[in-house]
Each structure stands twice: as C-alpha cells, then as structure tokens.
Structure 1
Amino acid sequence: MRSTGPLAVLAAAALALTLAGCSTGGGNGGLTYEDSPLNKYLSAAYGGDLSPEEQQKKLDEQQRKQEDLMAECMAKEGFEYKPNLQNGGTVVSSGEDIEWEPEKKSWVEKYGYGIVNNPFSEQGESNPGEEYVDPNQKYLDSLSESERTAFYETAYGAPQEMEDTEEGGSYEYNWEDGGCQGWAQHELQGEDPWQSDQFADLRDKMTELWSTTQESSELKALNAKWASCMADGGEPGFKAQTDAQQSISDAQSKIYEAAYGDGTTEIDPEKVEDPNKSPEMKELGEKEIALALVDLGCREKTSYADESLKIQFAREEKFIKDNKADLEAFKAAAEQNN
C-alpha cells in the first residue's frame, strides 16, 4: 500500500516529542517530558493543553473534513473517491487499556522495548474489532494497472526518487507534492507556522540544540557510565543509550527488507510469508527482551532518565533565554493556526 503524506498535526506533535522527549523518559516519580521548559511553546502547535479525548475528537473531525476535500479534489481530476474515515483518523490513544511502562521490569520482561513484542499490536490481535474495508476498493478493482497508478499519484503524489531526497535518505514533506491529500491538508490546516520562512532560523537553532545536546560533554559522560555498565552486563559495543534500542529496530528492518525487498521492486504481499511469524523475528524478540533488561538495570544504576533530562532541560532554559522573542512569536502563530 502506498504511504500517505503526514498530517500536519502529527508533524507538530513529532516536533514537540523530538525536542522535549528525545531522551529516555523519566521514571519512579522523577522528571518527565512534560517538565520540559520548551514544552509550553511547542505544545501550542498540537493542542497539548487538550485532554486525550478532546485531541481525538479534534483529529476525527479534522480527518472527516480532509477526506471530504480529498473527494472533491479527486472528482475534479476525473476519479471517484469515497471518503475513507479509517485512513489514519484514530491517532491518539487514551491509554485506557494499554500501558506503556518501559521503566518497569515486569513490562520489560514481557515487551523489551516494545518493538518486536508490541503491546499495541498484542491488543489488536486479542481485540480485532471491525475488519478494515477500503471504501474505494471496488472502484480500484475496476481500473486497469495504469489507471490505478494514476489514481494513487493523483491521490497521494508521485513516489519520491532517491535523488529527490535530502542527503542521508531523509525527505522533507511538501504538500504540493502530496497530490489531492496534500492539497486537502493544506486547505484545511493552512500554512504550518513551523514550516514557514518566518521561523526558518528558529528551526535551525532547535536542530542545533538537539545535536549539541547529544554531543555535550555531560551527556557523553553519562553515556560512558551507562555503556560501562552494559559491558559488565554482557552487552558491550554501545556508545549511547539510544543505540541499544536502535540496534533492535535496525535488525527488525533487515528482516522486513529480506521478506518484502527494499521498495525498489513491486511485490505481492499476499505471496510473502509474514516475517512477524518467522523464526528470525522470534529470535530477535527474545534478544530484545534480554538486551532491554540489561539496559533497564543500567539506566536505574546510573539514574539515566533523570540525569539525561536534567542535562536537556538546562540547555533548553538557556535556549529560551536566548530566543524568547522568536519562541513567543511561534507560540502565538501556532495558537492562531489551531
């Protein structure tokens, strides 16, 4: 299935999480991401003052309006399109039935980092709910292969070639390249203040804040203590705490790539054995739990959660002092755009 462009509200939320929650979360009643000094500025971009239920209601309504606009756009281009309210509408979870507790040993013993053994996936399997039905599938089945290709490109934009991406393989989303969906998002949400030229300098400074924090002598010293503990626990070779979890994610990606390819060749997913049920994935899940348990012990021994957030928040305080006017301007623009 072709991936769709990101919702602006999710991009804003990702921005806040990137800067306010890049380190391991606080545990045992210590600091948390919500204590971030920058949070009061960045949360304005995604309705951080709303309850989970209010955020969900807002997203559902936004999704409905976006799908109506998308249908309007597709009709103008000569295609039928029925609004698909199952296409990304449910994004916020209240956590009523799902606990995400990577700082608790009992949770880690079961899920590790929550990558291979994911509690959200587990709940979906035990409570499958209604089967997903694409309201446009019947129409798509009536189209020729070339017509389906044209449908998807009109709906979501042409696939991006590697030379169209930035160095390192990343891709900066542009609504004008996102087909009818990109247009619908832009019409509904207007200009995203975070992407505007007005805040280009602030964006660059925040990117620098993140990179310099990761390279700071304070965090390097903390990571060195953690890495020494990991080596003592039989898990050597990691330089930073985030590397441990990333190693599992990278290994999982290789298993998926072995099954589905690297995306350069079209395949029929129905003819591929589910890699999630493979012996390789089962083995990786076991490795994940073992690694995460050692990691948890070392995080607790070094007070990694609190210490890393203290380092981050101290740098945020200085950043706010040096850039307060720009941050206030961004907060005002984001609140007006919501």
Structure 2
Amino acid sequence: MHRKTLRWAAPAAIGLVFVLAGCTAADGSADAAEESPLSEYFSAFYGSDMSEEEQQAKFEKENKQREELVAQCMQDEGFEYIPAPSSMSFSSGTEWKPEDRDFVAQWGYGAVEYPEADEQTEPEQMTPDPNSDYVMALSESEQAAYYEALYGPTPSEEEMSEDGSYEYNWETAGCNGWASHEISGDDPLQSDEFADVMDAITKFYENSSSLPAIVDLDREWSACMDAAGYPGFATQADAQNSIFDELNEMYETMTEAGPDQATMDEIHEREVELALADLDCRKETDYRAKYDKAQFDAEEQFIADHKTELEAMKAAAEQARP
C-alpha cells in the first residue's frame, strides 16, 4: 500500500523565516538573527519568540485537538480513525557553529556529514500509525477512498508544478485540511489585505544580495578565495552551494545501490577544505559583521517604508495565534 504524501507551495514568507534564522553573528552564534530588525515581525508571524518548551507544548496541544477533529470528520465520512500521538520534537540539538574552525574542520558545510546524523529516527523507531491495521484490512478501492477523505483528492497534472509541489487549499485537503483550519483559522499573511506588502518582503530578500555594500563585500571575499586557490566563486554563498549542487546532481543520476562510501568521503574531504578556506576569507574580510550591518541597515529602511503595513500584519498574526 502506498500512503499518499501531500506537498504544497509554501507561502514566500515562510522562506524568509529561514533567511533570518540562518543569520549568524561573527562568532557563529545566533545573536544576529535575534538582532535583525525584521525578526520582531517574523517572530510574531510564526511564534519563533517562544522557547522550545513552549513550542513543544503548543504543538502537542494543537496536534491533540487536530487529531480529535480528524477522527470526528473521518467518522462522518464513514471511516474509523484513531487519533495519532505527536512525534515531533522542537529540540535544537547540536549548536551549529559555522564560524568555529574546529566545527568546520569536522563538518564543513554539513552537506555530507553533519551533527547527529547517526541519531536520526529510524523507521522502526517512529511512532507507529494506530490506523495501519484498519487501513490494511480495507480493499484497494476502500483504501483509496479512505486517503481521499483524509487528505483530499490527488492534484491533477495541471495543478502540479515541475518539482511536484502544488498550491495548498485547506478546502480540498480532506479531513486533515479541515481540522487544521479549525485549529489555526485563515492565515492572515495570505489574505488579499497584505498581498502587496508580502510581495514587497519577498522582493526585498530576493534583492538583498545585490545591495552595493554586499556586492563589494563579496568581491573582496572572492579575491581572497582566488588567492587561496579557489577561484570562480562570485559570492560567498556560491562556495557552499557548489557542494550541495554536486551532491544533488549525483543523487539525481545514481542507481538504487546509492553512492559508495569512498565517493562520499572524497566529497566530504573537499567540502571541508573549501569550507575552511571560505571561513578564513570570511575572517579576513570581517564578512559576517559587514554583511549583517548592510542587511540590517536595509531592513531598517524597509521597515520605515512599510511601517504601517508591517504593524497591521503583526497585529493580525498575534490576534490569530491560539
């Protein structure tokens, strides 16, 4: 039996949270993300101002409510459904320290090897689905009806994008979509009222790498990399991306046997060497501090230009949070 998996195109703003969370101070800490002028608004939008314990408690409470609603909905559709317990953890695990030389010397960019990789939950360790026996006892056509009731109909080819994602709509997402909407309500960030400022935020981050101060900084960093024997990288992000692009290309063409360990070890060795050169050039050019200043100055100007809309969005997000 194949369990249907849904994918959807996430709102652009969600990606911006990762941009902010990815900022690091010159010492590799997460202080820069906290100091980001726009982070005040995004913490309100997505609840990232809560501690891990508060996020965990909130998720577990909402998951319990959601699963009970799903069970009610599925019963109305003529199926049995046992609410499933939460299996998500908000623990941050090992601190990521991209500005620490010992850390980078071990993990590089975290492309091939990364902290706690061996501790990832194995399928047999995952919380079992309490509904699996019931579903397996259904006929093939009944299983199809069950999953359509639970998740909604499979999107048509016209609705699917090239990468397999599609625009999520809770109204066509079955009992799961209905239950989630009952818990969270409409997302104020996707309303027509804030469409213009959301587009402005997206464009702001898309264009941030072209800020004159950052362009000059990347040029200085690139010259340092050339001198270190790593030419061809126009921006600091290009170095890291080159390793992930290589891995993605390999995975796209590999056989079922997967990559051999010798190949992965060789890529990891090159990754670490490149990441260390990148780190040295960031230190030499004071990259993080200068980048953060340019980014934060631009954010301050963006806030000044869109203060009214941002405050309205923040108030709507805070009011919508359970």
Report TM bin, short chain.
Answer: 0.7 to 0.9
Q: Specify the SS of the correspondent of 1:119.
A: coil
Aligned-partner Cα distance in 1 for 2:156–2:105: 41
The count of corresponding residues between Structure 1 and Structure 2 is 317
Q: Retained in 1: the 8 A contact 2:12–2:202?
A: no
Q: What is the aligned counterpart of 1:190 among 185, 188, 201?
A: 185
Of residues 186-195 and 251-260 in structure 1, the stretch that sits farther from structure 2 once superposed is: 251-260
Q: Retained in 1: the 8 A contact 2:13–2:202?
A: no
Q: Retained in 2: the 8 A contact 1:155–1:181?
A: yes
Cα offsets for 1:182-230 (capped at 9, x unmatched): 2221111001111111110110110111122122222121112222222
1:302-321, aligned counterparts within 5 Å? 302-321=285-304
Q: Retained in 2: the 8 A contact 1:108–1:292?
A: yes
For 1:216, the equivalent position in structure 2 comes to 211
For 1:241, the equivalent position in structure 2 comes to 236
For 2:201, the equivalent position in structure 1 comes to 206
Q: Retained in 2: the 8 A contact 1:176–1:183?
A: yes
**How much does 1:25 deviate?**
1.7
Cα offsets for 1:45-87 (capped at 9, x unmatched): 2223322211111112112222222222233333333222245
Q: What is the aligned counterpart of 1:155 among 150, 155, 159?
A: 150
Cα offsets for 1:14-72 (capped at 9, x unmatched): 44333x345x5223278611111111122112223322211111112112222222222
1:40-59, aligned counterparts within 5 Å? 40-59=40-59
Q: Specify the SS of the correspondent of 1:164.
A: coil
Q: What is the aligned counterpart of 2:169 among 167, 170, 174?
A: 174
For 1:64, the equivalent position in structure 2 comes to 64
- The structure-2 alpha-carbon separation of the partners of 1:145 and 1:306, relative to structure 1 and needing over 3 Å to count, comes to farther
TM-score normalised per structure 1: 0.81
- % identical aligned pairs: 43
- The structure-2 alpha-carbon separation of the partners of 1:162 and 1:116, relative to structure 1 and needing over 3 Å to count, comes to farther
In structure 2, what residue type is equivalent to 1:304?
Answer: Y
* 2:276 counterpart of 1:332: no
- The structure-2 alpha-carbon separation of the partners of 1:199 and 1:71, relative to structure 1 and needing over 3 Å to count, comes to same
Aligned-partner Cα distance in 2 for 1:110–1:53: 30
Q: Which runs of 5+ in 2 are unaligned?
A: none
Aligned-partner Cα distance in 1 for 2:180–2:84: 14
Aligned-partner Cα distance in 2 for 1:121–1:162: 35
Q: Which runs of 5+ in 1 are unaligned?
A: 261-271
Q: Retained in 2: the 8 A contact 1:162–1:169?
A: no
Cα offsets for 1:131-163 (capped at 9, x unmatched): 442222223322344444443343334444564
Aligned-partner Cα distance in 1 for 2:316–2:58: 19
1:1-338, aligned counterparts within 5 Å? 2-4=4-6, 14-18=15-19, 20-21=20-21, 24-28=23-27, 32-86=32-86, 89-90=88-89, 92-95=90-93, 98-124=94-120, 130-160=125-155, 163-165=158-160, 171-259=166-254, 272-273=256-257, 275=258, 278-338=261-321
CA RMSD of aligned residues (A): 3.1
Q: Retained in 1: the 8 A contact 2:217–2:291?
A: yes
In structure 2, what residue type is equivalent to 1:309?
Answer: D
Q: Retained in 2: the 8 A contact 1:5–1:181?
A: no
**How much does 1:116 deviate?**
2.1
Q: Retained in 2: the 8 A contact 1:5–1:178?
A: no
**Structure whose CA Rg is larger:** 2
Q: Specify the SS of the correspondent of 1:42.
A: helix
- The structure-2 alpha-carbon separation of the partners of 1:74 and 1:27, relative to structure 1 and needing over 3 Å to count, comes to farther
Cα offsets for 1:244-296 (capped at 9, x unmatched): 22222233333433358xxxxxxxxxxx44x3765443433333222222221
